[in-house]
């Protein structure tokens, strides 16, 4: 009898506290449901993905189609999470204008991926440096010392030499109706154009050593552009599940040594009081000689890693990407017609298009 009364009183006590327990359980659930209505606080509309994985499980091999269909539902500015990383998708000209023109200073900095940390010296180059004083300094150097009309004019003869050589090669092949690797031929010409601007020398040729450097550039770019799950879900970073970090470190070590060799060679030449072969001040001179007493500019002088990062930007952007673009332009199958297309493209590189230019170059 006494035990029964104890049980009844326990049930009565628990019944009176049940509403409080229910409230304590329901509140977290409601908070989670409310949180899951958006990808993050003040985020634009967008599909709410899975915990940790975000939108990744819903991605197909046709990502642009996926975004097109989602834009129909969520509008031209939508949010989603790629793993745990927030992302904004812009899909209309009007919204693109706002992002790229009106708010460009706000969104101009790039995401620093694991590949950027390795192959761009921890975002030290102008291509990946966050928007700010340091980036403005590097951009000013590029625009004033490399891409200015005066600089381009001073190296015009050296660029023409490379383009003329490419034209002669392509024209000869077109006459014989043979085949040619457009990307490969364009790479050598473009690489030597870039190297004359950067270090006043033609550094590349089709020898075994030159081919090895070219392969490193191509492989680094290919690895650099591979989506890395460790960037989207950082918990995987220590394990490197795709092997991207290991592969990139191995590939980039050769290019890093190549940049070091260029810098050391120029520093040794300066100590001996010698100048470049053509006697002109090139980009490497400008980078090594940069000095500033204005702290707001970011640098008093450029650290070595920044100089090597800038060299990497010039060679990578000016060779692999440009040669690939030229390769994709060969839309016709007939080799002689391919030669004509390549000739027109190569001529446009230096703005020297003239009637029968190819004939005159080939016969010289």
Q: Is residue 117 part of a domain?
A: no
In three-state secondary structure terms, 89 is strand
Contact 325, 332 (CB under 8 A): no
β-pair partners for 82: 54, 85
Establish if 119 belongs to a structural domain: no
Query: In the prediction, which pLDDT does 149 show?
Result: 84
Q: Is the pLDDT of residue 172 over 80?
A: yes
pTM: 0.74
- 79-123 residue pLDDT tens: 999 999 999 999 999 999 998 889 888 888 888 899 999 999 999
Kindly state whether residue 260 falls inside one of the protein's structural domains: yes
Q: Are 318 and 190 in contact (CB under 8 A)?
A: yes
Q: Look at 21-30, 187-196, 250-259, 288-297 and tell me which has the smallest mean pLDDT.
A: 21-30
Residues 78 and 10 in one domain: no
How large is the average pLDDT for residues 62-68? 91
Q: Is a pLDDT exceeding 60 seen at residue 260?
A: yes
pLDDT tops 60 at residue 33:
no
Q: What is the pLDDT averaged over residues 290-301?
A: 76
User: Could you give the CA distance from residue 164 to residue 154 in angstroms, rounded to a whole number?
Assistant: 17
Counted domains in the chain: 3
Confidence of residue 334 (pLDDT cuts 50, 70, 90): very low
Q: Which of 4-13, 96-105, 153-162 has the lowest mean pLDDT?
A: 4-13
Residue-level pLDDT at 306: 93
Enclosing domain of residue 86: 40-108
Q: How far apart are CA 240 and CA 117, in angstroms?
A: 14
220 and 286 in one domain?
Answer: yes
Q: Are residues 57 and 170 in the same domain?
A: no
In a domain, 54, yes or no: yes
For 351-362, what is the mean pLDDT? Answer: 37
Ranges assigned E (strand) in the chain: 77-82, 85-90
Element holding 9 (H helix, E strand): helix 2-35
- Are 190 and 322 in contact by the 8 Å Cβ rule? The answer is yes
Q: What is the pLDDT of residue 230?
A: 93
**What is the predicted pLDDT for the residue at 329?**
56
Which of 133, 110, 136 minimizes the C-alpha distance to 122?
Answer: 110
Angle between helices 335-350 and 182-199 (to 10 degrees): 10
Say which residue the tokens 């090597």 belong to: 308
pLDDT at 58 over 60: yes
Residue pLDDT, tens place only, 218-234: 888 888 888 899 999 99
Q: What is the mean pLDDT of the chain?
A: 78
CB 322 within 8 A of CB 310: no
Residue 355 in any domain: the answer is yes
State whether 188 and 76 are in the same domain: no
Distance set, CA 33 to CA 26, 29, 48 (Å)? 11, 6, 11
Res 357 pLDDT > 60:
no
Q: What share of the chain has pLDDT > 90, as a percent?
A: 28
Residue 92 and residue 239 share a domain:
no
Residue 127 lies in a domain: no
Give yes or no for residue 343 having a pLDDT over 50: no
Mean pLDDT of 171-195: 82
Cα gap 84→56, rounded to integer Å:
10
- Asked whether residue 31 falls in the same domain as residue 44, the answer is no
Higher pLDDT, 38 or 76: 76
Question: Is residue 150 one of the residues assigned to a domain?
Answer: yes
The reported pLDDT for the residue numbered 105 is 82
User: Does residue 171 have a pLDDT over 60?
Assistant: yes
Within a domain: 125? no
Specify whether 203 is located in the same domain as 320: yes
| Pair 30, 44 in one domain | no
15-23: average pLDDT: 49
pLDDT band at 277 (very low <50, low <70, confident <90, very high): low
- What is the average pLDDT across 19-37? 51
CB 154 within 8 A of CB 280: yes
Please check the confidence at residue 245 and state whether its pLDDT lies above 90.
yes
């Amino acid at each position: 009898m006494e035990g029964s009364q104890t049980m009844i009183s326990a049930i009565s006590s628990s019944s009176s506290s049940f509403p409080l327990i229910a409230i304590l359980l329901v509140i977290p659930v409601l908070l989670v449901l409310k949180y899951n209505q958006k990808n993050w606080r003040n985020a634009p509309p967008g599909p709410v993905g899975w915990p940790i994985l975000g939108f990744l499980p819903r991605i197909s091999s046709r990502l642009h189609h996926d975004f097109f269909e989602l834009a129909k539902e969520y509008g031209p500015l939508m949010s989603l999470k790629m793993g745990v990383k927030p992302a904004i998708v812009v899909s209309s000209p009007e919204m693109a204008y706002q992002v790229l023109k009106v708010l460009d200073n706000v969104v101009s900095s790039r995401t620093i991926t694991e590949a950027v940390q390795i192959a761009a010296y921890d975002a030290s180059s102008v291509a990946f440096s966050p928007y700010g004083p340091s980036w403005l300094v590097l951009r000013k150097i590029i625009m004033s010392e490399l891409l200015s009309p005066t600089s381009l004019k001073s190296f015009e003869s050296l660029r023409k030499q490379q383009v003329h050589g490419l034209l002669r090669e392509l024209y000869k092949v077109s006459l014989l109706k043979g085949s040619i690797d457009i990307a490969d031929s364009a790479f050598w010409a473009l690489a030597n154009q870039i190297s004359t601007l950067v270090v006043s020398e033609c550094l590349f040729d089709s020898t075994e050593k030159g081919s090895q450097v070219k392969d490193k550039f191509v492989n680094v770019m290919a690895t650099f552009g591979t989506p890395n799950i460790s960037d989207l879900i950082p918990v995987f970073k220590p394990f490197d599940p795709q092997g991207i970090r290991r592969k990139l470190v191995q590939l980039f070590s050769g290019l890093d040594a190549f940049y070091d060799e260029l810098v050391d060679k120029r520093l040794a030449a300066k100590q001996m009081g010698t100048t470049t072969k053509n006697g002109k001040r090139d980009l490497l001179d400008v980078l090594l000689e940069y000095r500033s007493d204005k702290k707001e500019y970011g640098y008093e002088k450029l650290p070595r890693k920044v100089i090597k990062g800038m060299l990497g930007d010039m060679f990578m952007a000016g060779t692999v990407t440009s040669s690939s673009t030229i390769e994709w332009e060969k839309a016709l199958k007939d080799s002689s017609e391919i030669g004509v297309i390549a000739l027109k493209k190569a001529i446009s590189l230096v703005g020297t298009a003239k009637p029968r230019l190819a004939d005159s170059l080939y016969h010289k």
